[in-house]
A and B are shown apart, each in its own frame.
Chain A
Amino acid sequence: MSQFAINLLFVGASFALYIGIAIWARAGSTKDFYVAGGGVHPITNGMATAADWMSAASFISMAGLLASGGYANSTFLMGWTGGFVILAMLLAPYLRKFGKFTVPDFIGDRFYSNTARFVAIVCLIIASVTYVIGQMTGAGVAFSRFLEVSNTWGIWLAALIVFLYAVFGGMKGITYTQVAQYIVLIVAYTIPAVFIAFQLTGNPIPMFGMFSTHTESGVPLLQKLDDVVSALGFQDYTADVDNKLNMVLFTLSLMVGTAGLPHVIIRFFTVPKVSDARWSAGWALVFIALLYLTAPAVGSMARLNLMTTVYPEMAGQVENYEEAAQTPILYEDRPGWFRTWEDTGLITFNDLNNDGRIQFYNDAADYADRGWEGNELTVNNDILVLANPEIANLPGWVIGLIAAGGIAAALSTAAGLLLAISSAISHDLIKTMINPRISEKGEMLAARISMGGAILLATYLGLNPPGFAAQTVALAFGIAGASLFPALMMGIFSTRMNNVGAIAGMLSGLICTLLYIFTYLGWFFIPGTNTLANTPDNWIMGISPLSFGAVGAMINFIVAFAVSSVTARPPQEIRELVESVRYPKGAGVAIDH
């Protein structure tokens, strides 16, 4: 069977599974559509949350980020998991007790203000739409590489599948397909990692293999990697960073952003009890950690494999790295996976010194004495996970599995985001603000139509990614962390916080964060319009625009408390509402209004 046929079989079978689940789990009421009927088991919800959370970025890009950045990019590992700790303790149980369907529901009711509700809706839609673009383009890349269709067809195919199960199944369909998608993606991620760890270290468990001995040289794997990369002028893999303040703030921004992203929060509305919301957050992190503890191993091992593919003599070396660096492989001897990925343009070679060999090193280092005239190889970080099975010479079915896994990661996150967007439109905007008299059937129809509209918008943006597609992480996490997270937290932990304070806080957090991002990344992300060059010298106190979400959140808290303390106390019934969300008793009888 050809590789194409195997890929088609795996991806086709996974799609049949998702659609089968969607037919079985059709949404019959708005409660089914928004919160899957509220009866999802905490472990099931944990697994669905893990798939909801782990996007194309986690599956495809993270190991590549770690491989290229080493220790410095640990921020992603800690930030994207540590957010679940604050979500589990500061938000999820109380929002579950509140017992409604959406994040703007809580903000609007708690701050007794449709202005606050509207600000929350706008923040939710901007954060979720920017986030969904990356999922559509990620699915497009996976489709075009493994199914040999054009990128455009890949994105349309992804949109069609999501449409089929999200529009009909709502949250109920999405929950159970996410469980299936989690299983597909975790199996696909783990199998090649186990083989590679075993090949390099003799230890089949990647997270342990990473810290054990590299079999071929007898040196610890990470030390080996440091030696190899530093011989080629790259920074040590495990090197410490100088700007600790920025590293702390970037990690904190990712954490508060994670806790404030609505598509993750609404997953905790689907469990039956408040205590289930707490357990469920723990299970979600267990399932996420299965991938996040493997990713650093994949990153370091893939980097070492890549270096020793180009410099085969370095693999068994213990000290003579300088000498081994003299004999990189001949271009004509490059392995098969190298050729496959060259076809996609994600690996490029340019023989600057015309010696027929591949000189791969840090361009900033001067190796003229070795007869090198510049780095000749560029490798896109995103291919490391996708090319893993080929690098390790694994059988064709593992490659098929990786294809299905990458697509599952993109689709599961896209579906969660689309549900958050559509419920903000049909429930918060239409049902609560515009037409409270709308019937249950009318609201369901509105939810399905807005879901369809959101899919079309996401598809359009995936096909024509705006110039700022690469900056969406800063935008989505900045908005969620600087506006939504503090408002939700103050709504629960302060009985004194009033409507004016919360609105002023959300707006100032949001505006300061956007101003800081736009100053360095371009106004409204239009290239060339940035006020200051995006370099560490220009950043205020060395804080990068990506790390500013945490500062925005602090501004939000300070402004909210200052404004709130000089304006009227919230009414008595609001203080009672806050007190009632603080303990679980009575959650079972929470009513849908």
Chain B
Amino acid sequence: MADDKSNAAEYWKANVRLIFGCLVVWAFVSYGCAILFRPILAGIPVGGTDLGFWFAQQGSILTFIVLIFFYAWRMNKLDAKFGLGE
């Protein structure tokens, strides 16, 4: 029982670490590249405008998709590693 509990706690810690990493990227592309850092990225031209505009209208959405699939894939591995899957 004690083993089960510490195992579950380890699993949860690993999950929280993974979520934190994913959310850093999530915030970086949307709030960072698309909004706050747009003036810094203004020198990088993309099709008639700048990189920040591209992130705001396409780049962040594409990154979001990759993030969710990455998370689902990593969590399946964690489920199996800790023996806590279905």
- Docked Cα-Cα span, A547 to B55, in Å, equals 21
- B44 contacts chain A at the CB level, 8 A cutoff: no
Query: Contact between A582 and B79 (Cβ–Cβ < 8 Å)?
Result: no
Q: Which residues of B contact A93 (CB under 8 A)?
A: 75
- Docked Cα-Cα span, A223 to B58, in Å, equals 17
Query: Contact between B72 and A282 (Cβ–Cβ < 8 Å)?
Result: yes
Query: Contact between A84 and B64 (Cβ–Cβ < 8 Å)?
Result: yes
Q: Which residues of A contact B84 (CB under 8 A)?
A: 583-585
Q: Which residues of A contact B22 (CB under 8 A)?
A: 85, 89
Question: Which of the 9-residue segments A71-79, A161-169, A186-194 touches chain B?
Answer: A71-79
Q: Which residues of A contact B47 (CB under 8 A)?
A: 210-212, 220-222
Given A223-B48, A248-B35, A282-B26 contact (CB < 8 Å): no
Give the total of A residues in contact with B, Cβ under 8 Å.
Answer: 54
- B39 contacts chain A at the CB level, 8 A cutoff: yes
Query: Contact between A207 and B53 (Cβ–Cβ < 8 Å)?
Result: no
- Docked Cα-Cα span, A370 to B74, in Å, equals 63
Which residue of the partner chain A has the closest CB to B72? A278
- A296 contacts chain B at the CB level, 8 A cutoff: yes
Which residue of the partner chain A has the closest CB to B31? A248
Query: Contact between B48 and A220 (Cβ–Cβ < 8 Å)?
Result: yes
Query: Contact between B61 and A289 (Cβ–Cβ < 8 Å)?
Result: yes
- A579 contacts chain B at the CB level, 8 A cutoff: yes
Query: Contact between A74 and B56 (Cβ–Cβ < 8 Å)?
Result: yes
Query: Contact between B48 and A296 (Cβ–Cβ < 8 Å)?
Result: no
Interface membership of chain B positions 1-17, coded 1 if the CB is closer than 8 angstroms to chain A and 0 otherwise: 00000001001100110
- Docked Cα-Cα span, A337 to B31, in Å, equals 39
Q: Which residues of B contact A431 (CB under 8 A)?
A: none
Give the shortest distance, in Å, between B74 (CB) and chain A (any CB).
10
Given A89-B71, A221-B47, A78-B60 contact (CB < 8 Å): yes
Interface membership of chain A positions 206-223, coded 1 if the CB is closer than 8 angstroms to chain B and 0 otherwise: 010011100000011111
Query: Contact between B72 and A74 (Cβ–Cβ < 8 Å)?
Result: no
- A86 contacts chain B at the CB level, 8 A cutoff: yes
Q: Which of A337-395 contact B (CB under 8 A)?
A: none
Interface size class of B (residues with CB under 8 A): 35 or more
Q: Which residues of B contact A88 (CB under 8 A)?
A: 68, 71-72
Query: Contact between B31 and A278 (Cβ–Cβ < 8 Å)?
Result: no
Given A82-B64, A211-B47, A222-B47, A240-B34 contact (CB < 8 Å): no
Q: Of B62, B68, B86, which contacts A84 at CB under 8 A?
A: B68
Q: Which residues of A contact B76 (CB under 8 A)?
A: 275, 278
Q: Which residues of B contact A286 (CB under 8 A)?
A: 65
Give the shortest distance, in Å, between B4 (CB) and chain A (any CB).
10
Q: Which residues of B contact A85 (CB under 8 A)?
A: 22-23, 26, 64, 67-68
Which residue of the partner chain A has the closest CB to B42? A240
Query: Contact between B12 and A278 (Cβ–Cβ < 8 Å)?
Result: no
Give the shortest distance, in Å, between A554 (CB) and chain B (any CB).
15
- A251 contacts chain B at the CB level, 8 A cutoff: yes
With a 10 A CB-CB cut-off, give which of A66, A207, A219, A588 has the most chain B CB atoms.
Answer: A207
Interface of A is mostly: helix
Give the shortest distance, in Å, between B81 (CB) and chain A (any CB).
12
Q: Of A74, A238, A273, which contacts B86 at CB under 8 A?
A: A273
- A224 contacts chain B at the CB level, 8 A cutoff: yes
Q: Which residues of B contact A248 (CB under 8 A)?
A: 31, 35-36
Q: Which residues of B contact A273 (CB under 8 A)?
A: 86
Give the shortest distance, in Å, between B38 (CB) and chain A (any CB).
6
Give the shortest distance, in Å, between A21 (CB) and chain B (any CB).
28
Query: Contact between A293 and B71 (Cβ–Cβ < 8 Å)?
Result: no
Q: Which residues of B contact A81 (CB under 8 A)?
A: 60-61, 64
Which residue of the partner chain A has the closest CB to B85? A584
- Docked Cα-Cα span, A238 to B19, in Å, equals 33
Which residue of the partner chain A has the closest CB to B47? A211
Give the shortest distance, in Å, between B25 (CB) and chain A (any CB).
9
Query: Contact between B49 and A222 (Cβ–Cβ < 8 Å)?
Result: yes
Which residue of the partner chain B has the closest CB to A587? B86
Q: Of B53, B62, B83, which contacts A238 at CB under 8 A?
A: B53
Give the shortest distance, in Å, between B47 (CB) and chain A (any CB).
3
Query: Contact between B30 and A82 (Cβ–Cβ < 8 Å)?
Result: yes
Query: Contact between A293 and B12 (Cβ–Cβ < 8 Å)?
Result: no
- Docked Cα-Cα span, A226 to B76, in Å, equals 47
Query: Contact between A584 and B56 (Cβ–Cβ < 8 Å)?
Result: no
Q: Of B12, B16, B30, B50, which contacts A583 at CB under 8 A?
A: B12
Q: Of B15, B39, B69, which contacts A582 at CB under 8 A?
A: B15
- Docked Cα-Cα span, A244 to B57, in Å, equals 16
- A473 contacts chain B at the CB level, 8 A cutoff: no
- Docked Cα-Cα span, A207 to B38, in Å, equals 20
Given A74-B57, A89-B71, A223-B49, A240-B38 contact (CB < 8 Å): yes
Q: Which of A269-301 contact B (CB under 8 A)?
A: 273-275, 278-279, 281-282, 285-286, 289, 292-293, 296
Query: Contact between B12 and A582 (Cβ–Cβ < 8 Å)?
Result: yes
CB<8 Å pairs between A and B, sample of 8: A81-B61, A210-B57, A220-B48, A275-B75, A278-B68, A278-B76, A582-B8, A584-B86
Interface residues of A (CB under 8 A from B): 66, 71, 74, 77-78, 81-82, 84-86, 88-90, 93, 207, 210-212, 219-224, 226, 238, 240, 244, 247-248, 251-252, 273-275, 278-279, 281-282, 285-286, 289, 292-293, 296, 493, 579, 582-588
Q: Knowing that A212-B47, A220-B47 touch, tell me 20 more A-B residue pairs with CB under 8 angstroms.
A: A66-B57, A74-B34, A85-B22, A85-B23, A85-B64, A88-B71, A89-B22, A211-B54, A223-B48, A244-B35, A248-B31, A251-B30, A275-B86, A278-B76, A282-B72, A285-B68, A286-B65, A293-B62, A584-B84, A585-B83
3 closest A-B pairs by CB: A220-B48, A211-B47, A74-B56
Interface residues of B (CB under 8 A from A): 8, 11-12, 15-16, 19, 22-23, 26, 30-31, 34-36, 38-39, 46-50, 52-54, 56-58, 60-62, 64-65, 67-69, 71-72, 75-76, 79, 82-86
